[in-house]
Amino acid sequence: MEQIVECVPNFSEGRKPETVGALVAAVRAVSNVYLLDEEMDADHHRSVLTFAGDPDAVSEAAFQCTRIATEFIDLRHHQGGHPRIGATDVIPFVPIRGVTMEDCVGLATRLGARIGQELHVPVFLYERAALHPERTNLEVIRRGGLEGLASRMETEAAWAPDFGPSQLHPSAGATVVGARPPLIAYNVNLRTDDIGLAKRIAKTVRSSSGGLRSVKAIGVELSSRRLVQVSMNLTNYEDTPIHVAFEAVRHEAEQHGVQIAGSEVIGLVPREALIHVAESYLRLERFDRSQVLETRLEKVMGREGAAQGEHQSNPSPDLSDSVSSFLAAVSDGTPTPGGGSVAALAGALAASLGVMACRIGPPMPKAGSADGSQDAAQWKESAKELEASEHRLQTLASALKGLVQADADAYAGVVKAYRMPKSDPSRLSAISDNLRIATFVPLKTAELTNEVATLLLTLRQKTKPSVSSDLKVGLLMSIAAMESGLENVSTNVEQIKNQSLEREMAGRIRIIEQSLVELRRLC
């Protein structure tokens, strides 16, 4: 398998084996997906599945799990030690082999749109897939639990979900979907029932409180064992290896006369992370990673070399097939993909042009000038700014790429609803619901492309003159995508004839229209 993505969804169920069994069965029913691990914890009232495989198949398995969780898990009757906002609480995609983080962002975006559309669960994108900087950290989205999120969604426009309805699902809450590097879920159990101590130690060791780098931590009560736990996520085990986190917790506990009962890894752990521990604790001399049996086998059997050779043999991919396929799909005489998908693609192309301009870099400092050192310092600062713009544009390009399919899926839902028998009492409601989804998707396209255009405008003063025409093309593409998105929004709203929906969207539409006026003037 040339491309492998890992997915580690967390579900708010740790006490009903039959429900967790249904989640596992949903994964195993999807071809080209391999279940790697399953964890179930009654005290946390949480289960974690780890599976990997073909990217599209993994995304399908994640959706099927979410569908099962939405049907079987009711948060109105849920009490557990772990923070949560959803039946399917969080779904991260992790690049393993042959895929990039941007590919995983695209998977997250498309899955989020599908969950919102088909399961009617609001979705928030996080980590590398976040469309709003304040939603990058999962703990910010979870702040205040279900009640806190519901309040923010109701009273703050900035907390509208990225996909799905504007209110929590009655029983399934909300779901967070994203893309991130591998992390290690690592817990240290303390021989005490003092939950206050566990929370104080967690606060001491977590990075947000000035503790260990790349460590998130909370205190959890293990009532079934009469213990407490410092539950940690090591988001970068290079920054803080497992043994460093363990020693930090042990040191803090011993200051209060409390011993360690044990520790545990939840889910899977990268091989390199365990090598870090072995090198430190065993004080291995002249140890080489090629001495690890699995590493040597992979090298001798040629897996790594073959993968690299395949990559190098095609350094410049032929774009004609993929472009031709999309053009053929658009011109096929079917309703989808249509104008909304084309608009999203135009926005993604505009963002990609911006990424290209950022990578080409800022103008070089003038050689031999009297203030050469100042010019060099300014160049470094400009390069740093372009790096930040590049990262944001990559995120926007991946999100817009996901909306190409999301728009087609949304309109397909509308067509399916209209084809229901007129005698079906649910037909009108289905039409209204699907039109609403088909309205929000192009609005999201217009909003994201508006941000793309804003970034492209700033790049004109920071990048080399050689890319000025490319940025101009990107701006023109942005304008087309924004106008097209608003056209689809207007058409669908008229069909719904829903005044409350019009009022809900009016402010968002006005912002885009004002931006369009300014963009046309500057272009």
Residues 82 and 220: beta-carbon distance below 8 Å: yes
| Alpha helices for 361-371 (secondary structure H) | none
At position 317, the amino acid (one-letter code) is P
- DSSP assignment string, 376-424: HHHHHHHHHHHHHHHHHHHHHHHHHHHHHHHHHHHHHHHHHHHTS-TT-
Residues 471 and 460: beta-carbon distance below 8 Å: yes
Compute CA distances 337 → 198, 330, 406, 425, 494, whole Å: 53, 5, 10, 29, 21
Cα 177 from chain centroid?
Answer: 5
Give 91's DSSP letter.
Answer: E
Residues 69 and 23: beta-carbon distance below 8 Å: yes
Residues 227 and 192: beta-carbon distance below 8 Å: yes
Burial of residue 517 (CB within 10 Å: 0-12, 13-18, 19+) is exposed
Given 77, 82, 132, 311, which residue is catalytic? 82
Compute CA distances 445 → 153, 463, 474, whole Å: 21, 26, 15
CB atoms within 10 A of CB 1: 12
Residues 263 and 186: beta-carbon distance below 8 Å: yes
Instruction: Name residues whose C-beta falls within 8 Å of residue 146's C-beta, 6 or more positions apart in sequence.
Output: 75, 84, 85, 168, 173
CA–CA dist 136, 360 (Å, integer): 27
Q: Is 276 a catalytic residue?
A: no
Residues 132 and 141: beta-carbon distance below 8 Å: no
Task: Using the structure block, give the residue that is written with the tokens 């897939």.
Answer: 129
| Alpha helices for 171-239 (secondary structure H) | 195-205
Instruction: Name residues whose C-beta falls within 8 Å of residue 195's C-beta, 6 or more positions apart in sequence.
Output: 219, 220, 221, 228
Helix (H, G, I), strand (E, B) or coil at 179: strand
Give 217's DSSP letter.
Answer: E
The phi, psi pair for 227, rounded to 5°, reads -130, 170
Token couple for 366 = 């003038």
Using CA of residue 135, residue 139, residue 144, residue 146, what is the dihedral sign? positive
Residues 208 and 256: beta-carbon distance below 8 Å: no
Q: Give catalytic residue positions.
A: 82
